[in-house]
Amino acid sequence: MVWRCETGGVPTTGLRERKREKTRDALAQSALRLFAERGFDRVTVEEIAAAHDLSARTFFRYFASKEDVLFSEGDRRRTHLLAALADQHPSARPFPALEAALRLVSTDYAQERDLLRLRHHVITSTPSLSTRAAERRQGWEGEVIDQLRTSGRADGMSDLELRLVVAATTTALQVAIETWVASDAPDLETILDEVFDRLRNGFGR
């Protein structure tokens, strides 16, 4: 996972960093479980921290807020996506560039089906979180559109066309992930193959 690579650093830093990440992951996992069991609004930061013998103050060294447990991973993925998009060959047009970048990012999801399922459940069952998630998705789409525009990939494309490519691709990724999260059988990659093939070839045949 590109965005998790440590950029150099002596072994001690690496060890401390890994320990830090382990604590962070453990906090996130138990927070998600508590949210799913009792409802997001009924769980306090104190309880999440106490499950690991930590104080609320320590929790805030890992997450900026209770919402941040649900959304910080998304921030990392967005950074990852924008980097992956920038890395695509300059001549790649918006759709293939976006497909390649989204496929790279989706490898982050592949080992986290249970956590994604919990997260999805918590967000869809809490109206304020659904709103935040929708707003974030819009912001995320806006950034992708801006990057495709400034990189020159979208030259000659109307705003309508570019918005459509990005919105349709994002929607397709969401359908793919939701289908995968709700199922047990197939791996995410096979689902993504089907979905992107369909967008590439169109709904006409």
Q: Contact with its own copies (CB under 8 A): which of 44, 125, 164, 187?
A: 164
161 touching its own copies, by CB under 8 A: yes
For 125, residues 6+ apart whose C-beta sits below 8 A from its C-beta are 39, 40
The DSSP letter of residue 52 is T
199 touching its own copies, by CB under 8 A: yes
Q: Which residue has the tokens 């830090």?
A: 20
Chain positions 62 to 101 lying near its own copies, rule: CB under 8 A, are 95
196 neighbors 99 (Cβ within 8 angstroms):
yes
Nearest approach in angstroms of CB 54 to its own copies is 32
| Dihedral sign for Cα atoms in the order 173, 176, 180, 186 | negative
Choices 68-76, 82-90, 105-113, 156-164 (CB under 8 A): range interacting with its own copies: 156-164
Nearest approach in angstroms of CB 76 to its own copies is 24
57 or 205: whose CB is closer to its own copies? 205
177/171 Cα distance (integer angstroms): 10
Choices 10-18, 24-32, 127-135, 147-155 (CB under 8 A): range interacting with its own copies: 127-135
Contacts 24+ apart (CB under 8 A), 149-156: 151/85, 151/86, 151/90, 152/90, 153/90, 153/92, 153/93, 153/94, 153/97, 154/93, 154/94
Chain positions 170 to 189 lying near its own copies, rule: CB under 8 A, are 171-172, 174-176, 179
34 or 94: whose CB is closer to its own copies? 94
The DSSP letter of residue 65 is S
Residues in contact with its own copies by CB under 8 A are: 95, 127-128, 130-131, 134-135, 158-161, 163-165, 167-169, 171-172, 174-176, 179, 191, 194-195, 198-204
